[in-house]
Structure 1
Amino acid sequence: MAYWRSIGCVAIVTTLASWTGSAHASTNFVEEVQAALYAGKTAEAAVVAGDRLAKAPDDDQARFALGAVQFLQAIEHLGQSLHQYGLRSSYQDPTGLAGLPILRIPVPHNPNPDKLTYEAFRAVLQRFADDLAAADTTLAGISGGAVDLPLNIGLVRLDLDGDGASSDDEALWLIFKTVAEARWLDEREAGKLLVDFDESDVPWLRAYIHLLMAVVEFPLAHDWRDAFQATFHGVFPGAGLPLRVLFEEEMKALAELQEKGEGPKPPAKLPAESWPEYQIRYQAWLETPEGQERQRLDSLTNRATFGGIADLVAFVHLNHWPVIEPERMQRVLENLEAMIQFSRENWRRIKDETDDRNEWIPNTAQSGVLPRMRVTEERIAGWMQFLDEFEALLQGNKLLPHWRFDRGINMRRMFLEPTTFDIVLLIQGSAAVPYLEEGELTTGQTWRQITRVFGGDFFRYFIWFN
């Protein structure tokens, strides 16, 4: 799971470009943008690309450069906002809320975070959505001209804490390694991640932007204040959230465990001892000072270990979110449909390519830069089948089956006629009733056929292909 998530992090990185030997960009333009990106100065890179575009409005390479940098700035601004409120991106429990989308950016530690409210977090999401929309608007102006933008991903840096500088911890290859748990990646390997972005990567980037916009618009469409107030203390522990005492108790337990070490161990069962006899002896041992200490340490272990799981359960329990901005649900639908269209165009262009220059996503005759990722005709066909099936669901031409009904759920109506979102009631069936219709159902056999060609790594390829 961690590896396919890592592809999402690499995808963010690869939206940038450095410029060498282009017919559409001067050497100075290339060097200035490179210097800015490699120093973590995305604002400077945006100014250089913007100035170039102002002088040559038909320069699609400069326009792609600007849109890509704007997208990177969207990620950077998100990271800075999460740092501002003290995101605990080193959260130890992978089952906790820190694994949710948007919260996986490994920002530097902030010892003095600002106070966070539900309204402030919605503002963080809104700014991210606005930044993404700005990047997409820029990219939408590309008219089909040549794009040739090589980028050494291993040299790019961000400013995730907003201090105006970029530390070694903010190098993109280190961010990728942290999120992906990519043990194979070191500074030497990162230096090999040179990608030549071209025209096929324009729709790829736009598809990725629309996917992220759909992810952000969904929570903004709903009122989920109660879930936020009750569970986000573990994600932003120093931000003054109402139930931060839960996290504080978890940390106190962890500190005591570290201080006391392993502690006494219970007596082992003797070879000649029956199980009932051992249970009697074990229960007697629990009453001794050593046994009491063992029980105390076990209690502390549970407290320190299961807090994240408990918060996640509570988050699901409080997943009863009234719709407050229904127009956003329509935008979720529109963004997902746009993602499908741009992905199709991306693959149309990829399949037509005849060069072979450090491709981000190669066709079957090209070489790519990512290890462990292979493009085959079977996988391309499987991806096209996925796009067709997903589009049929979004358009209401196929219905989503429910275990409780012969009829199926019209997903399109869920976006266009939204009601209170409650995942438990959807699974139970009562929240699905308003959307039930007669019609053709998508089948488990179809989805097994789609995922089979990706060798069990469908979600990893989904983030890469989008």
Structure 2
Amino acid sequence: MRLALTIAAALFTTTAYAQSAAQIGADSLAKSADHFAALPDKTPSDNFALGALHFLRGVEKTLQTRWEYNATLDDLDIPVMRLPVPANPEAKPFEAGMITGIFTDLLSDMDASRAALAAIPDNTDVALEINLADLWFDINMNGTRDTGEGVIEVGAFTIMAAPDLGDAEGLPPMNVRFDTADVAWLTAYTHMLSAAGELVVAFDPTEAITNVMNAADKMDALRGMPYTRSGFIGVTETRWIDQFAMVYGALNQQPDATRTRAAHAHLLNMIAENKTFWAGIDAETDNANEWIPNANQTSALGIEQPPEAGMAWQVILDDVEAMLNGDLLIPYWRLGAVGGVNVQKLFLDPPTFDIVTWVQGHGLLPYLERGPLITPDSFEQFEALTGGNLLPLSFLFN
């Protein structure tokens, strides 16, 4: 998902926190978050910084847990799970409940982030600046910044399979000024990660992972010559089938409807906050190191953004919102142009995911209906408009 610069977007200098950008980079996210949390009279900018720190700290903790267990998982296209972590030669034995635990903790951190952002009164000014290249994740929990821990470095894997950035400390300054409209932008991103977290927990994979691990151990014992396990689970030669079995086993069970409904609400809130964000930046008249510029501003990151890009993205948001509300249906191969799958019903009254019955149609019958279909037209228009900058812009816009 579009997380590369997101995780690099939010540790800031403020009047109350009188440190230079270099000093902030020298501190861990945990220490900086503790400082802002302890401030007695937080300004709007302080609360924005605290919300951003909770966000970044939540992502950092997912990386730290995966490093503890040597759970690379970067071949799973799930938010935060595909971010790279270095090898840990003294890793703990893998635990089946680790993934559910990671996302349960992430949900708490996103709640904390939104709480800080919600404390910012409406119509108040926020103005925070940071050099993104200063930011880092303490992945190996040694208290110092090591090669590979810069957030630019880590996050680049979201849009590039194997970026050649070296250490982010060597990058040129990337000074960005976050302002009032960006409160809604960051809030939207917390909802996106919360939606992902709720879905993972809804389909709690712990039992499926346990079954696969136990079966692998027994087959290793039968073989009498166990292979050396690599990373997450399974030997190098069979890892893909083990992971597929885990994912399929997790999906092919009755999910927790409370969780799927919460995910649905988060996605709708994400879109609502996005719309608030775009209305906010459209009203801006300044042009100072803009994170995401309007048609009359310039990007601080040097990413070329056509003036019409913001409006084109909002058309995509409208389509996705209509799909989540059941007003547009997802095409289904046996219905052709007359109807499709009602996504709202899938979230509110979720079934098990059985690939055989879903492809044949029996398992999806309660969710199939006649009606207008969502099309790729709005996304194709955005892609044509942005050209080579499709991935970075879609990431930035959320």
TM norm. shorter chain > 0.5: yes
Q: 1:207 maps to which residue? A: 188
Segments of structure 1 that go 5 or more residues without pairing to the other structure are 20-24, 234-239, 253-302
Pick aligned residue for 1:61 from 22, 45, 55: 45
- Over aligned residue pairs, what C-alpha RMSD do you find? 3.1
Contact 1:40 1:158 in 2 (8 A): no
Change (3 A) 1:177 1:102: closer
Pick aligned residue for 1:380 from 296, 304, 310: 310
In the alignment, structure 1 residue 391 sits paired with structure 2 residue 372: no
Segments of structure 2 that go 5 or more residues without pairing to the other structure are none
In the alignment, structure 1 residue 421 sits paired with structure 2 residue 353: yes
In the alignment, structure 1 residue 48 sits paired with structure 2 residue 35: yes
In the alignment, structure 1 residue 31 sits paired with structure 2 residue 19: yes
The within-5 A match list for 1:167-206 is 167-177=146-156, 180=160, 181-183=162-164, 190-206=171-187
Larger radius of gyration: 1
* CA deviation string 1:266-316 (max 9, x = no partner): xxxxxxxxxxxxxxxxxxxxxxxxxxxxxxxxxxxxx96x64554455456
Q: Which moved more, 1:311-320 or 1:456-465?
A: 311-320
Q: 2:261 maps to which residue? A: 330
Displacement after TM superposition at 1:113 (Å)? 1.9
Q: 2:84 maps to which residue? A: 106
Displacement after TM superposition at 1:135 (Å)? 0.8
Contact 1:395 1:412 in 2 (8 A): yes
Displacement after TM superposition at 1:336 (Å)? 0.3
DSSP-derived class of the 1:104 partner:
coil
The within-5 A match list for 1:345-424 is 345-371=276-302, 373-405=303-335, 406-423=338-355
| Letter aligned with residue 66 of structure 1 | L
DSSP-derived class of the 1:157 partner:
coil
* CA deviation string 1:148-201 (max 9, x = no partner): 111011112221122333323322233245664333676576232111111111
- 2:367 and 2:134 map into 1 onto residues whose CA distance is 50
Q: 1:433 maps to which residue? A: 365
Displacement after TM superposition at 1:411 (Å)? 0.9
DSSP-derived class of the 1:220 partner:
helix
| Letter aligned with residue 128 of structure 1 | L
- 1:381 and 1:326 map into 2 onto residues whose CA distance is 34
- 1:241 and 1:194 map into 2 onto residues whose CA distance is 49
In the alignment, structure 1 residue 220 sits paired with structure 2 residue 201: yes
* CA deviation string 1:385-442 (max 9, x = no partner): 1011110111111222211113321111111111112355434322221111222222
* CA deviation string 1:206-263 (max 9, x = no partner): 1111001111110211243465347789xxxxxx9858969x74879xxxxxxxxxxx
- 2:127 and 2:219 map into 1 onto residues whose CA distance is 50
- 2:324 and 2:240 map into 1 onto residues whose CA distance is 32
Q: 2:104 maps to which residue? A: 126
- 1:384 and 1:109 map into 2 onto residues whose CA distance is 40
Displacement after TM superposition at 1:381 (Å)? 2.1
| Letter aligned with residue 164 of structure 1 | G
Q: 2:8 maps to which residue? A: 13
Contact 2:305 2:386 in 1 (8 A): no
The within-5 A match list for 1:257-268 is none
Sequence identity (%): 28
- 2:218 and 2:129 map into 1 onto residues whose CA distance is 48
- 2:113 and 2:21 map into 1 onto residues whose CA distance is 17
Change (3 A) 1:10 1:423: farther
Contact 1:61 1:145 in 2 (8 A): no
Contact 1:407 1:436 in 2 (8 A): yes
- 1:112 and 1:219 map into 2 onto residues whose CA distance is 28
- 1:176 and 1:106 map into 2 onto residues whose CA distance is 8
- 2:217 and 2:300 map into 1 onto residues whose CA distance is 46
* CA deviation string 1:322-353 (max 9, x = no partner): 23421010111000001101111111111111
| Letter aligned with residue 383 of structure 1 | W
Change (3 A) 1:399 1:324: closer
| Letter aligned with residue 33 of structure 2 | A
Contact 1:117 1:241 in 2 (8 A): no
- 1:460 and 1:168 map into 2 onto residues whose CA distance is 24
- 1:384 and 1:8 map into 2 onto residues whose CA distance is 19
How many matched pairs?
A: 386
| Letter aligned with residue 378 of structure 1 | E
